[in-house]
């Protein structure tokens, strides 16, 4: 492979990791072995010179609280979910720093004892210095998902792509875990995702990425080496953009 072929396809990316990925094979919670595996993949990319920032969902923790939250008002339940993302961010920061990767957690909800406040220019500077930045607590507002937060931060950071690391290797016509006949797509437009009601990201996130012209790449982060392959334009994934 030539040096040109080995260079990452994207120079600056935001990686959205679903909280469910961090459960590993557990019913809910944080499986540190899985966190360490994801951190190793991120460290490999960061040390190669790619600027990378993260948004991590909170479903792995909030799933265990969902029964308690069932009778709550939406805003209060959403704030609980935001706090779950902060716990995941701190776990990932710990795993990355064990690997020698300088990492900063920036929270949209001020909590000075454990995280920096979200300041766009400071986050950009961290990335320029080769640090990994983890954006926690969503947008800081209820009624917005972590997908929307990921799209917002990707646009603010001027990322080349939003990578969505999930438990499956792309976007399917149905849930491949439940429907064995589901079809995997190699490429979709933003409009395809909306019109076919494909459960990739919520409509607000898709609309923001379309407006910003930032492609979404969906892949399985559980597969060893998949993040590196995606950055090199290799492996199995689905690209969502406005290309014909």
**pLDDT tens, N- to C-terminus, the chain (244 residues):** 344 444 558 999 999 999 999 998 888 899 999 999 999 999 999 999 999 999 999 989 976 556 556 778 888 888 999 999 999 999 999 999 999 999 999 999 999 999 999 999 999 999 999 999 999 999 999 999 999 999 999 999 999 999 999 989 999 998 888 888 899 999 999 999 999 999 899 999 999 999 999 999 999 999 999 999 999 989 999 999 997 5
The answer regarding whether domain 3-241 maps to CATH 3.90.190.20 reads no
Q: Return the residue matching tokens 């438990």.
A: 167
Can you give the pLDDT at residue 26? 86
Confidence at residue 62, expressed as pLDDT on a 0 to 100 scale: 78
Distance of alpha carbon 128 from alpha carbon 202, whole angstroms = 30
pTM: 0.92
- Per-residue pLDDT, 67: 56
Residue with tokens 């320029």: 128
Which helix (H) or strand (E) segment holds residue 14: the answer is: strand 12-17
Angle in degrees, CA 217, 120, 199, rounded to 5: 30
> What's the confidence (pLDDT) of residue 69?
62
Q: What is the pLDDT of residue 65?
A: 58
pLDDT at residue number 121: 98
Q: Characterize the bridge pairing of strands 216-220 and 238-241.
A: antiparallel
pLDDT for res 68: 59
Dihedral sign computed on CA atoms, order 83, 89, 90, 91: positive
Domain definitions of the chain by residue range: 3-241
Conformational region of residue 44, where left means phi above 0, alpha means psi within -120 to 50, and beta covers everything else: alpha
Q: Hey, what are 173's tokens? A: 């016509």
Q: Is the dihedral of CA 100, 214, 22, 34 positive or negative?
A: negative
């Amino acid at each position: 492979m030539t040096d040109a072929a080995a260079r990452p396809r994207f120079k600056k990316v935001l990686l959205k990791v679903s909280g469910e990925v961090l459960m590993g094979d557990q019913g809910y919670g944080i499986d540190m072995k899985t966190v360490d595996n994801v951190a190793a993949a991120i460290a490999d990319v960061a040390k190669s010179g790619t600027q990378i920032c993260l948004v991590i969902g909170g479903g792995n923790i909030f799933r265990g609280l969902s029964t308690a939250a069932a009778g709550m008002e939406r805003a209060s339940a959403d704030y609980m979910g935001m706090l779950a993302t902060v716990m995941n961010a701190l776990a990932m920061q710990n795993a990355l720093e064990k690997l020698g990767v300088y990492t900063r957690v920036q929270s949209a909800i001020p909590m000075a004892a454990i995280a920096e406040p979200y300041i766009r220019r400071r986050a950009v500077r961290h990335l320029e210095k080769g640090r990994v930045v983890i954006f926690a607590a969503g947008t800081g507002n209820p009624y917005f998902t972590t997908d929307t937060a990921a799209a917002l931060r990707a646009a603010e950071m001027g990322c080349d792509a939003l990578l969505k690391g999930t438990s499956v290797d792309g976007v399917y016509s149905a849930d491949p875990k439940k429907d064995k006949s589901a079809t995997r797509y190699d490429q979709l437009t933003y409009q395809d995702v909306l019109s076919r009601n494909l459960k990739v990201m919520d409509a607000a996130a898709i609309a923001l990425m379309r407006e910003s012209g930032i492609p979404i790449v969906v892949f399985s982060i559980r597969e060893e080496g998949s993040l590196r392959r995606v950055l090199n334009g290799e492996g199995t994934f689905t690209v969502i953009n406005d290309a014909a």
